Structure 1
């Protein structure tokens, strides 16, 4: 029993394929949820009835409550790196970026990138976002029938983050393809073909950013790549760190928003009374964004590693223990939210913020940008596509780690 509960020895990462097979054989609910997300909330309800943390016979503790998830995220005794240097979330597209690092590297690199996402700067940038949004929607609506994801939800945040970074428009199509590759890799790399696909995406982006960095060193502009190139010239980060940071800001800067907008369209059309509320009052758009993120988070699950002796809901945790955080469960915690399984744009403002952007030192750097884009997109949809309806079968992303849609056929 002791060995089975020593999760540091049983499982290195919750995305490890062999470990998940062992967990499935042992009846661990995590394996079932990852294989079949459709029934996850019924599973979470049963587990939550036993307490805020589920400690299975084999595998890591599973945190279901909003309170305990928040405590772990804000506790500096928990981090993202194992003692051997690996990531709590497995090896993936982001493993060498600051989003998967602990202090001091995380702090240093995040501080250098943070000026690009200041709320005031993004408020000033809103006119540009609105212009892109309306151009895309007008073009899509002119077709009568269109794919809301490929014609609108995907090109919008790609255009915005590319503009902020200073990347030429002609690369936009490549970035959408990379997003799909990245989403698959976060579930763990399963085959040699998938590894080659991921390696090619990483190499291609590396070459692009290295070339742009050389251009900005010779001719600085008012963009993020110039900002980072200047920092590298001042020895505040290495050339490799510039490339990995740009890669992170690009992919993370549009992936969450693509999934937010696509999921919002599906949820609103599935809940016509809420869609009617938004159409009647487009100023509900910011609240709609928060409710979509709470109800169906783009990143429903994460993990942390205890770096030193710690506590989990009052019980001791040994160093190098993996802890899995079920954000999708925490966001529907009945101890925090009234009617948590209902999708409600008029949810009380007294309820706590969802955990879809994390908490603590790893709180999503791009959250302000994603919120502005979501607000602008949903407001424009309410005004320009009031007759929006789904006309075909949605196609979901092939990932249980990044949730969203690849395709959503609609008509207006």
Structure 2
């Protein structure tokens, strides 16, 4: 049956992409954004001229306003699941993880993972992040020309997540190889061989997590798997939830950081060299550079939510089961929230709201402090070791319409 399931997944992925392309040609705004991401801000501007909420002829309302997106993300009547608790996307790779749950299960599972991101541990992570960053960049500098994504932006978060979870050194290569494949799973694939490789990676990581759980029961340590294993022994989390939580931390931690670093490099060194010069002049702008990259080019440009009871939104009454599409990339450039919203500026005026690239409300990204730290450390190290970094050749965008980043970014020092 597994081969039939794989074929079904691939065919559904192809059919979905074909449908998106057809609907884009008919003018459907969300499909236009998904089909040709490079032109999405032209679409946002067209829709915004008509108001903060756009109702297509087909499909869910599209929210472009920073204020309305923030309100929806904080509204307890609007959640991730259908009324009654059923999943809206049961075949999604992230189904069954706390990112896809509403309270009380979301609260319970998130609370169990949260100690891994407490400030004391994050300070300890920084030393490890700096070491891995310098090792990777020193190796890249020796090449002169390299792929920033495959040689740096991708290995960095995998190494950090290995430490966070507590993956032993003897399993580091196995974890890294399978981790990169698992991180691709939410995107889907049009190739059967690729789908089977992803499935094999997910299964092998499940076995690895299960083995490590057994070891941590006998020999607990200061890592996420130990924390979750202790909770499982107290019946606060099931074994299946534990494995899925580890997988979620892997996927979420990888995708945010790899796309953040790739997007930052392209924006700063290629698209806006004056801002790169400003950052080289004042490396302490690195945290602000991270925030501006996330605002200007969010790795996750949109997300959905579902009304679980009747909700009034922008003068409209929305019944239960109404799906909403929150266009984070549009909200992050809302002229009512940001001065010069389409300008990429490291020195933005004080008082502007936080971008929505890490979401908001109860689903605010748990790993946001870690991703910010990785981005800041990466930028500081790149300034120090490769101040003349430049993009060479044509970057390859990620082959997905739900993430914004690069699969390959050829650079030279």
Under a length normalisation based on structure 1, what TM-score does the superposition of the two structures give? 0.91
Quick one: distance in 1 between partners of 2:166 and 2:292?
32
- Equivalent residues in 2 for 1:31-46, closer than 5 Å: 31-46=31-46
- Equivalent residues in 2 for 1:204-243, closer than 5 Å: 204-243=204-243
Flag structure 2 segments of 5+ consecutive residues without an equivalent: 1-14
Secondary structure of the corresponding residue to residue 132 of structure 2: helix
The aligned counterpart of 1:333 is: 334
User: Number of matched residues?
Assistant: 398
The aligned counterpart of 2:360 is: 359
Quick one: distance in 2 between partners of 1:339 and 1:74?
26
Secondary structure of the corresponding residue to residue 142 of structure 1: helix
Quick one: distance in 1 between partners of 2:111 and 2:61?
32
Aligned pair in 2 of structure 1 residues 317, 183: CA closer, same or farther (>3 Å)? Answer: farther
Quick one: distance in 2 between partners of 1:302 and 1:115?
26
Give yes or no for contact 1:257–1:370 (8 Å, CA) kept in 2. Answer: yes
- Equivalent residues in 2 for 1:77-88, closer than 5 Å: 77-83=77-83, 87-88=87-88
- Equivalent residues in 2 for 1:216-295, closer than 5 Å: 216-270=216-270, 271-295=272-296
Quick one: distance in 1 between partners of 2:146 and 2:222?
35
* Larger mean Cα displacement after TM superposition, 340-349 or 193-202: 193-202
* Larger mean Cα displacement after TM superposition, 255-264 or 122-131: 122-131
CA offset at residue 138 of structure 1?
Answer: 1.0
Q: Is 1:110 aligned with 2:123?
A: no
Secondary structure of the corresponding residue to residue 68 of structure 1: helix
Quick one: distance in 1 between partners of 2:184 and 2:30?
18
Quick one: distance in 2 between partners of 1:83 and 1:16?
25
Secondary structure of the corresponding residue to residue 30 of structure 1: helix
Give yes or no for contact 2:25–2:32 (8 Å, CA) kept in 1. Answer: no
The aligned counterpart of 2:412 is: 411
Quick one: distance in 1 between partners of 2:281 and 2:267?
17
Flag structure 1 segments of 5+ consecutive residues without an equivalent: 1-14
Quick one: distance in 1 between partners of 2:184 and 2:295?
23
Give yes or no for contact 1:257–1:373 (8 Å, CA) kept in 2. Answer: yes
CA offset at residue 86 of structure 1?
Answer: 5.3
Aligned pair in 2 of structure 1 residues 411, 82: CA closer, same or farther (>3 Å)? Answer: same
Q: Is 1:142 aligned with 2:142?
A: yes
The aligned counterpart of 1:320 is: 321
Q: Is 1:397 aligned with 2:398?
A: yes
RMSD: 2.2
Aligned pair in 2 of structure 1 residues 16, 172: CA closer, same or farther (>3 Å)? Answer: farther
